[in-house]
Amino acid sequence: KDIFVIGDNAETPYSGMAQTAIYDADFVVHNLRFEYEGRPKLAYRPKEPVYITPVGEGWASVLWGDFHFNGRLGWWLRNIADFKAFWDIEPLTDAAEQWATTYEEEHLCPVCGNPS
């Protein structure tokens, strides 16, 4: 009957963003369940993602709808978003460990590129 497409191939607003792929997957799951149960399917309503772009150590640029700002607060929001993403797929202790090691600095040799 219907074909559902999610992720980068979806012809929906904001496709190509991880947040959109996750949102769309949740939408498709609900509609498949409703179809199986004989209930009417939901209409798709796109959700604009929050854009947070790290711009250096301790600094990020945030675009949240019409709200734009830069700086350390943006960097903290990005860290919180990363932690939540880990916690969505792992138990809290594993998520915390994964999140903490993500921000460890690895020093590389400037000549060969290997860890020093």
Q: What are phi and psi of 61, to 5 degrees?
A: -105, 135
Residue 62 β-bridge partners: 52, 69
pLDDT digits (tens, 9 = 90+) for 53-67: 988 888 999 999 999
Q: Are strands 51-56 and 67-71 parallel, antiparallel or unpaired?
A: unpaired
Spatial strand order in the sheet of 51-56? 51-56, 59-64, 67-71
- Say what the pLDDT of residue 82 is: 87
Query: Which region among 3-17, 49-63, 91-105 has the lowest average model confidence (pLDDT)?
Result: 91-105
Map out the domains of the chain as residue ranges.
1-48, 50-105
Tell me, what's the pLDDT at 85? 86
